[in-house]
Amino acid sequence: MRPLTGRITSGDAEPGLYQVADADGLILDRRDAPGQVAIAVDPAMRQPERGDLVSVIPGRMLRTLYRSSAQDNFLFLTNRCQNRCTFCSQPPTVHADDWLIAEVLQAIAHLPRGIASVGITGGEPTLAGPGLLAVLAALTAHHPTCAIHLLSNGRNFAWLGLAQRVAAIGCADLVVGVPIHADSPPAHDAIAGSAGAWGETVRGCLALARCGIAVEIRVVLVRDNVARLEQLAAWITRNMPFVVHVAWMAQEVTGYAATAGDRVWVNPESYHVQLRRAVTLIHRWGIRTSIYNLPHCWMPADLWPWAVKSISSWKVEHPDACTGCRQLAACSGLFATGTRLTPRPFHQSAC
């Protein structure tokens, strides 16, 4: 049966019981209030909050489309992807899942007015084809000032037509975040798990830039690319001087990253020198740059100014061992979903 999409309006007196409003589809139980559906949420699960947007099959499935208390929310367009990146935290599937678009369009209609920003992700959102365009158009229509962060491998933008269509929608503030794994095609393709990935990704970035769309480069730090971080940084400054931001990202050890183990994982201490040189180089050429997903205790102190609290609020944790750490407020924390880093807190007594 099709899921219902709606907004959590209240938690009832009974624990775990919520009202979902504006749901499309059938009202299942006459005992429900008009226009509302009551759902029960397993106490062991994350409890939804008032204002959350959910997709629910009562008794069967609840998926949160939008978390009202989170700073960063992502709209999920498809689980398909052409790439099979070795570190992927969300392994793709191959079946058609166009129904996700309908869900997202519903959610967009109910996002709070004046929402500051939203992300679009997948899998690979451009594989949703016209669905992606519909989502962008809906966002622009309902939330014209909302900043949109589209995460994409960039490959389909190698076809200029798609880049032009996206540009034509006229989003007020659209940034496309594209991962580039290495400065040479074979190395990038090996990490992307797909031959020809580099060529299309690079052309995609150029096409986006040609159409006036802002591009961000994201570099996930894995065993096979940390030796050439500085060279990659230099490559970016020479070949894509137009990028608005470069993010250097430590791994979320889940999905493929978890099963690949040491074939993907790399101890951050082994790349401090390279990371420092890469960040310095990008910064010197006047391009904004940040380090994501590395807790302060696993970064050299001189790089702290570039660290960002990047882990989504519902995925982050500061384990008990972090209590009392001097850097707690500024630190990005660890992935609750999967990490191989253990906290090394900065206590008051330590200098």
Partner 1 sequence: MSSWYRLLPFQMDRMQSGHYLCSSIAGDHVILQRETLCSVIDGTLPREHQDAQDLMAGLFLSTDGGHAEVDLLATRLRTRLHERRSLASLHIVVATLRCANACGYCQVSRVHPEARGKDLSDDNADRTADLIMSCPSSRIKVEFQGGEALLNMPVVQRIVERCDAAAAFSGKLVSYVIATSLSHLTDANLDFFAARQVHISTSLDGPQWLHDRNRPSPTGSGWLTTVAGIERCRRRLGHDCVSALMTTARTSLAHADAIVDQYQELGFHSIFLRWLNPFGDAVRHRQRLSYTALEWLTFWQRALDRVLSWNDRGYPMREEFTCLLLRRMLSPHPAGFVDLDSPTGSGTSVLVYNYDGSIYVSDEGRMLAEIGDQTFRLGHVQTHTYAQIMDNPTLRNMVSATMLETTPRCDRCACLPWCGVDPVVNHATQGDIRGCRPTSDHCQRMEGAFHYVVGLLRGPHRDLLLSWAAG
Partner 2 sequence: MTTHEVRLGASFYPDAVVIVVIHRLSHRAGIAPRREGDELILTIVPRTGHNDDDLVPDLLQLLSDEALRQKLDAKTTGIRALIMAQLFSDVTLTRPGLDGDPPGFSGSM
Rounded to a whole number of angstroms, the minimum distance from the CB of residue 113 to partner 1 is: 36
Q: Which of 274, 270, 282 is nearest to 245 (CA)?
A: 282
Q: Which of 219, 192, 209, 191 is nearest to 278 (CA)?
A: 219
Cβ-Cβ contacts under 8 Å for 318 (sequence gap 6 or more): 328, 331, 333, 334, 343
Instruction: Specify the residue, 285 or 314, whose C-beta has the smaller distance to partner 1.
Output: 285
Rounded to a whole number of angstroms, the minimum distance from the CB of residue 307 to partner 1 is: 22
300 binds partner 1 (CB under 8 A): no
Q: Choose among partner 2, partner 1, none what residue 195 binds, the Cβ cut-off being 5 to 8 Å by kind.
A: partner 1
Report 210-239 residues binding partner 1 (CB under 8 A).
228, 231, 235, 237-239
- Site mask, partner 2, residues 189-228, x = CB under 8 A? --------------x-------------------------
Name which position in 195, 244, 321, 330 contacts partner 1 (CB under 8 A). Answer: 195
The answer to whether the Cα torsion of 324, 330, 331, 337 is positive or negative is positive
Helices (H), 211-271: 229-239, 256-260
Q: Choose among partner 1, partner 2, none what residue 238 binds, the Cβ cut-off being 5 to 8 Å by kind.
A: partner 1
Q: Choose among partner 1, partner 2, none what residue 300 binds, the Cβ cut-off being 5 to 8 Å by kind.
A: none
Coil, strand or helix at 286: coil
CB 20 within 8 A of CB 7: yes
Which residues pair with residue 33 across a beta bridge? none
Q: Choose among partner 1, partner 2, none what residue 237 binds, the Cβ cut-off being 5 to 8 Å by kind.
A: partner 1
State how far the Cα of 105 lies from the Cα of 75, in Å rounded to an integer.
9
**Rg over CA atoms, the chain:** 21
Report 146-175 residues binding partner 2 (CB under 8 A).
156, 158-162, 165
Name which position in 27, 28, 133, 187 contacts partner 2 (CB under 8 A). Answer: 133
80 binds partner 2 (CB under 8 A): no
State how far the Cα of 328 lies from the Cα of 214, in Å rounded to an integer.
33
Only segment of 5-13, 41-49, 122-130, 244-252 that touches partner 2 (CB under 8 A): 122-130
Which residues pair with residue 214 across a beta bridge? 175
Query: In which region does residue 333 sit, left (phi positive, over 0), alpha (psi from -120 to 50) or beta (all else)?
Result: left
State how far the Cα of 207 lies from the Cα of 228, in Å rounded to an integer.
26
83 binds partner 2 (CB under 8 A): no
State how far the Cα of 281 lies from the Cα of 149, in Å rounded to an integer.
25
267's tokens: 């101890």
Only segment of 46-54, 171-179, 256-264, 278-286 that touches partner 1 (CB under 8 A): 278-286
Rounded to a whole number of angstroms, the minimum distance from the CB of residue 87 to partner 2 is: 25
Binding site for partner 1 (CB under 8 A): 183-187, 195-196, 198-200, 202-203, 206, 228, 231, 235, 237-239, 241, 281, 284-286
Binding site for partner 2 (CB under 8 A): 126-127, 129-130, 133-134, 156, 158-162, 165, 203
